[in-house]
């Protein structure tokens, strides 16, 4: 709130200052620069309102252009496109000001600026104002560019930090002594009972570690690769828990091919579901991955363990933070009745080609 008030105080002050500059070059105000009679006061109010409206409109154009129209461009094309947009916008603003100012004086004060009631545009005056506008535009552009660079740098640093935490959490879950103990116990039994299955178990276990290591520097990975990783993960889970855990996906082929997400996201959600719920042969844990127009939907049956160790919920919180940095859409978590649901916004890599998505 304080920042917003400060912003408008600065804009108001700038509008008043520019109003004096316009009066210096307007011969109708000769000798009346600091005289605030009816016309002087009216012009001040008119000019301040005009500048504030145009400034706010310029902000909207900037945000819309940068976040929507120019998101697919590299930084050079972003800068050149924004410059062209604001040059055109400046011409429109100056012409609007000249015409509206002339009409304002003609209607309210019967004052003709250019010798004819039907002439509201003066080339010399507009060229002068446009040169001044270009100077202001260059200055503001430098400020916007610096602030944008600082924001992008901060986001990049935060994203790398969150991605590191996610990789650490994924590795910690897998390297946990209990994980090794459980898998080695399963493997020991398989070696004596079914050597072929034991060999496949080792193969799938190695795929899990290879995926985690190969994707350790990635901010986004294809959904198709994440699902392939889950196949290996669920192979181990099925051997250990048999039919106590049921997993299925219902995704369009185009989604699996074009959609991206932060690495290990699905594995962390499924790990939490297994860790926090009880299940049996008669009441298996059902986990599904589906979609709607804008989200991937990860849903599991909910039957919480009565005694459960304290957890920091780092996995879910980390996923939320990473998505908050990557998308305007937020991760949604719904817990109600017999289901726990997480909605992950669909991400597409081309949206981030203008930024560095590697750690």
> In the chain, what are the domain boundaries?
2-121, 155-352
Question: Please, which pLDDT band fits residue 308 given cuts at 50, 70 and 90?
Answer: low
Spatial CA neighbour of 47 closest among 5, 15, 88: 15
- Does domain 155-352 sit in CATH 3.30.930.10? no
Question: Please, which pLDDT band fits residue 172 given cuts at 50, 70 and 90?
Answer: low
Alpha-carbon distance of 301 to 279, in angstroms, equals: 9
Alpha-carbon distance of 112 to 242, in angstroms, equals: 90
Q: What is the pLDDT of residue 7?
A: 83
When mean pLDDT is compared across 12-21, 63-72, 350-359, the lowest value belongs to 350-359
Residue 352 has pLDDT above 60, yes or no: no
When mean pLDDT is compared across 20-24, 113-117, 273-277, 331-335, the lowest value belongs to 113-117
Q: SS3 sequence, 4-44?
A: HHHHHHHHHHHHHHHHHHHHHHCHHHCCCCCCCCHHHHHHH
Alpha-carbon distance of 186 to 196, in angstroms, equals: 14
Residue 359 has pLDDT above 60, yes or no: no
Work out the percent of the chain whose per-residue pLDDT is above 70: 81
Alpha-carbon distance of 278 to 247, in angstroms, equals: 15
Residue 355 has pLDDT above 60, yes or no: no
Alpha-carbon distance of 351 to 260, in angstroms, equals: 10
Alpha-carbon distance of 273 to 300, in angstroms, equals: 7
Cβ atoms of 250 and 288 closer than 8 Å: yes
3-state secondary structure of 178: helix
- Identify the burial level of 350 via C-beta atoms within 10 angstroms of its C-beta, where 0-12 means exposed, 13-18 middle and 19 or more buried: exposed
Higher pLDDT, 102 or 341: 341
Q: What is the pLDDT of residue 314?
A: 63
Q: What is the pLDDT of residue 331?
A: 92
Question: Please, which pLDDT band fits residue 189 given cuts at 50, 70 and 90?
Answer: confident
Most confident option among 28-37, 113-122, 135-144, 349-358: 28-37
Give kind and range of the element (H or E) at residue 259.
strand 259-261
Residue 2 has pLDDT above 90, yes or no: no
What is the average pLDDT value for the chain, to the nearest integer?
80
Write out the two tokens for 347: 């991400």
Residues 163-167 have a mean pLDDT of 68
Question: Please, which pLDDT band fits residue 344 given cuts at 50, 70 and 90?
Answer: very high
Q: What is the pLDDT of residue 345?
A: 92
pLDDT (tens digit per residue) in 252-292: 999 999 999 988 889 889 888 888 888 888 889 999 999 98
Residues 63-74 have a mean pLDDT of 68
Question: Please, which pLDDT band fits residue 224 given cuts at 50, 70 and 90?
Answer: very high
Which strands sit side by side in the sheet containing 347-348, from one edge to the other?
221-222, 259-261, 347-348
Return the half-sphere exposure (C-beta side, CA atoms, 13 A cut-off) of residue 288: 12
Q: SS3 sequence, 63-97?
A: HHHHHHHCCCCCHHHHHHHHHHHHHHHHHHHHHHH
Q: For residue 347, which phi and psi values (nearest 5 degrees)?
A: -115, 145
Residues 61-87 have a mean pLDDT of 74
Residue 356 has pLDDT above 50, yes or no: no
Q: What is the pLDDT of residue 177?
A: 62
């Amino acid at each position: 709130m304080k920042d917003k008030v400060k912003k408008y105080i600065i804009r108001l002050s700038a509008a008043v200052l520019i109003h004096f500059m316009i009066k210096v070059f307007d011969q109708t105000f000769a000798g009346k620069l600091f005289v605030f009679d009816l016309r002087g006061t009216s012009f001040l109010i008119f000019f301040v309102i005009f500048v504030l409206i145009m400034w706010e409109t310029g902000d909207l154009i900037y945000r819309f252009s940068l976040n929507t129209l120019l998101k697919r461009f590299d930084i050079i094309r972003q800068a050149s496109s924004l410059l062209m947009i604001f040059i055109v916008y400046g011409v429109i603003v100056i012409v609007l000001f000249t015409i509206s100012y002339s009409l304002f004086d003609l209607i309210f004060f019967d004052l003709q600026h250019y010798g004819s009631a039907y002439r509201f545009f003066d080339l010399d005056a507009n060229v002068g104002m446009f040169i001044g506008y270009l100077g202001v535009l260059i200055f503001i552009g430098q400020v916007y560019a610096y602030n944008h660079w600082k924001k992008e740098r901060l986001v990049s640093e935060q994203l790398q930090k969150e991605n590191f935490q996610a990789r650490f959490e994924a590795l910690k879950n897998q390297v946990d002594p209990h994980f090794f103990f459980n898998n080695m116990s399963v493997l020991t039994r398989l070696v004596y009972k079914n050597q072929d299955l034991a060999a496949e178990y080792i193969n799938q276990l190695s795929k899990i570690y290879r995926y985690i290591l190969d994707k350790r520097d990635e901010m986004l990975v294809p959904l198709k690769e994440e699902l392939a990783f889950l196949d290996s993960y669920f192979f181990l889970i099925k051997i250990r828990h048999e039919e106590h855990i049921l997993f299925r996906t219902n995704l369009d082929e185009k989604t699996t091919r074009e959609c991206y997400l932060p690495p290990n996201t699905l594995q962390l959600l499924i790990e939490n579901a297994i860790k926090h719920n009880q299940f049996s042969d008669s009441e298996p844990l059902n986990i599904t991955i589906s979609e709607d127009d804008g989200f991937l939907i990860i849903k599991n049956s909910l039957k919480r363990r009565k005694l459960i160790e304290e957890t920091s919920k780092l996995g879910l919180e980390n996923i939320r933070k990473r998505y908050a940095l990557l998308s305007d859409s937020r991760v949604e978590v719904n817990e109600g009745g017999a289901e726990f649901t997480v909605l992950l916004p669909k991400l597409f890599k081309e949206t981030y080609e203008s930024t560095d998505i590697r750690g």
